[in-house]
Structure 1
């Protein structure tokens, strides 16, 4: 496996992927870690298969070709009309246009991370990108995300706590007003940028405070498949958070309140939130799953109401 740069067809927009080796790590945090929550334990050994991960969080320049599409859409994002000459990429569900500028004034030009999408929207971007490129992309699992974030380390962060400002965009003094362009801080030991801070990142898993209870050591790529719309897991903390929220083991769970000011009119069950600190990054597993498995990853966001 090698790092690679690819171009999204018909857009001229590039994205970079970093290889993540297979291995085993200790998931969760020790009981004496500062800022720890009970849902981060008990610690357990997890085995991870190899995959590629986005070097950076998905940016507006990469996300907007999916979000802004010339195909007329129903409220749920599906095409109003499907014709024989339509490309598979056009049939993929995507958002209808929001009524406000989605970055909330923080910047949506090249290099700024895309924000405010639901987990469903992030999943459908992965499906769209897969249709565009012929490679299978999805959100990371919670285990894959923590493994990649730690990058062989076992402390609260992938760096020394006193060096966090060199690696992460966060808000220790509660005066920060927005995110920054991706990649402006140092990468972790495996070459991934902004795994701590800048924007929080969706993963595929549903949330339970008891997820780790009963897990045995040696599980391979565990996934806690969602069974309801809320809550779902996000990782990494954001520009809006203090340092303890950025820890490698910290688990954030989604809430319906994230959609109170949905920047779409009428409100979108499916695609938008006003969570201006929330984004995502993509992964590509080395082993390509079956078509049925792909669809499961891409469609879990529509459980219950969406």
Structure 2
């Protein structure tokens, strides 16, 4: 146990964006950290598999000792009866020697006692090994979270490196010669020659910038789509003149500076734009001539040009999102800068309309919204009334159907494989929101229920990379400020089962925790991407570590603080892990969905974390299912 604890204490997680920025480590240093921690993670995985096997072996040995105990108890009873018979015979014959019967009974007694002691020792050894397994499992997931956090730090460092490498200043000497047109004055020919020399210097410098990048191969691959350009800071003619044939030649020293926006750095590296949210503004240079140049030699789009976009649809009460920002319902008219924009039109019960617009002129877009392929029950939402006319959790009806479950895209963990097709033959109701503090309080007030955290040991929170127990923490005081609309946390799976059993009794309908299959089906909402909105977590789409929300790495957000998926569920990504019931876990206790202090990769729809049903933490809550 001491060895396991020592290993666990070696894990150090980074849980705030501030600490990431403060470290200011190089890309190479972070890559080395990731490699070191990945090796440790692999070792943890092998050790965990070995410890699980040892626990299973101890359980088999305990079962064998218990079976042996029945045999020894029978033998002891037989020897006792034989000895008693001999004692009875000594009443008639005091000279009878009963030592052999007495020794046989004593031998049986000793064997029975030794086996009972062995059972006690084996049981304690088995329980200790189970604790080692649980500690290893928690430490393994903590280390995984650290690795994913380092990857977040690595991508930020890569962006910083490319940004700094590109936005540098240098001086070039160029020579250029042109033939003057017959109708061109000497002054005009001279001016044109100098301009073309500057343009030549700009293109050459841009090529040098791309060639000089540490990640030049990746940047060049995305170069055709980049709006990076260079700025001419200063230019001096060192030599120029005309030849007898009417040609003008000029030699110039040109001082240039790269101009790359931080958002463009993400594009060049093929990274999600959330790593480039913090834009850095280059210092303004007064009275300089600038020649913006793209890879194809053309000038970038002038973002000061605004066009009018009009959006219409065939439905009412829809919602239009442009570049992730809501602009209300159609009919919509809005001024936007020239260039690309991501447009989405959303309405409950309809398939989401998505289109990328390249805005080059004032445009009218007519959107034909189509009914979703499934039909909800009447009213689409279900909410039972509990005892005392108290409303129960609000549910969304999810249709029957089939889906592929697990690590579809090959980016997941070993416990997400193999990918399997699952079929749900019946529709079911599932919580629109995670169960809130207010929901759980009604249960406690009605039943006087005391959670396991309040009975003993409190609740776990993350500190220095591992769950740390604190007696004062429970669902009322989880270690951060909560309101009635925050998800309830610090409850074990057993607490969660007590809650759903009460809901069943109070409503007259069958409530339970979702199975893993039901949870993933509802969270995917007919998608096969890592997140219901796409392959990347993006920025501000959910509350997880380094996901760009105001709550990231601080606390859970109030439920429904982000968009719902197309099945109508909120917060299936991040916020708090949610208890499910699993047939593939030894204890049947698995949490899904990620949390506010776990890395984005651990908030993917197929990520799963097996825990002890008695474990509770201030980042684990629940969502309920109601059968038809």
Do both proteins adopt the same fold according to a TM-score greater than 0.5, normalized to the shorter chain? yes
Larger radius of gyration: 2
Between Structure 1 and Structure 2, the one with more strand by share is 2
Distance in 2 (CA, whole Å) between partners of 1:62 and 1:173 is: 27
Q: TM-score, normalised on structure 1?
A: 0.68
Secondary structure, counterpart of 1:131 in structure 2: helix
Secondary structure, counterpart of 2:384 in structure 1: strand
Distance in 2 (CA, whole Å) between partners of 1:140 and 1:164 is: 27
* Aligned residue in 1 for 2:134: none
What does residue range 98-177 of structure 1 map to in structure 2 within 5 Å?
100=472, 102=474, 103-162=477-536, 164-172=538-546, 176-177=553-554
Is 1:40 aligned with 2:416?
yes
Cα distance, 1:96–1:167 mapped onto 2, change above 3 Å: same
Unaligned 5+ segments in structure 2 are 1-376, 459-470
Is 1:249 aligned with 2:625?
no
Unaligned 5+ segments in structure 1 are 78-94, 206-222, 260-272, 287-306
Is 1:233 aligned with 2:590?
yes
Distance in 1 (CA, whole Å) between partners of 2:440 and 2:565 is: 24
Q: TM-score, normalised on structure 2?
A: 0.34
- Asked whether the equivalents of residues 141 and 203 of structure 1 are also in contact (C-alpha less than 8 Å), the reply is yes
Cα distance, 1:201–1:164 mapped onto 2, change above 3 Å: farther
Cα deviation 1:29-63 (Å, max 9, x = unaligned): 13x533x1111111111001310000000001001
Distance in 1 (CA, whole Å) between partners of 2:538 and 2:547 is: 14
Distance in 1 (CA, whole Å) between partners of 2:624 and 2:559 is: 14
Distance in 1 (CA, whole Å) between partners of 2:445 and 2:419 is: 42
- Asked whether the equivalents of residues 197 and 236 of structure 1 are also in contact (C-alpha less than 8 Å), the reply is yes
Distance in 2 (CA, whole Å) between partners of 1:155 and 1:68 is: 41
Distance in 2 (CA, whole Å) between partners of 1:276 and 1:61 is: 16
Distance in 1 (CA, whole Å) between partners of 2:586 and 2:526 is: 31
* Aligned residue in 2 for 1:81: none
Deviation at 1:124, TM superposition (A): 1.0
Runs of 4+ in 1 over 4 A off after TM superposition: 68-71, 95-99
Deviation at 1:164, TM superposition (A): 4.1
Deviation at 1:227, TM superposition (A): 5.1
Distance in 2 (CA, whole Å) between partners of 1:164 and 1:133 is: 39
Cα distance, 1:96–1:7 mapped onto 2, change above 3 Å: farther
Deviation at 1:100, TM superposition (A): 3.5
Cα distance, 1:143–1:170 mapped onto 2, change above 3 Å: same
- Asked whether the equivalents of residues 11 and 65 of structure 1 are also in contact (C-alpha less than 8 Å), the reply is no
Secondary structure, counterpart of 1:167 in structure 2: coil
- Asked whether the equivalents of residues 167 and 194 of structure 1 are also in contact (C-alpha less than 8 Å), the reply is no
Secondary structure, counterpart of 2:393 in structure 1: strand
Larger relative contact order (CA 8 Å, sep ≥ 6): 1
Secondary structure, counterpart of 2:430 in structure 1: strand
Distance in 1 (CA, whole Å) between partners of 2:431 and 2:447 is: 27
Is 1:188 aligned with 2:188?
no
Cα deviation 1:156-212 (Å, max 9, x = unaligned): 11112445444311111796211110000000111100000001000011xxxxxxx
- Asked whether the equivalents of residues 382 and 429 of structure 2 are also in contact (C-alpha less than 8 Å), the reply is no
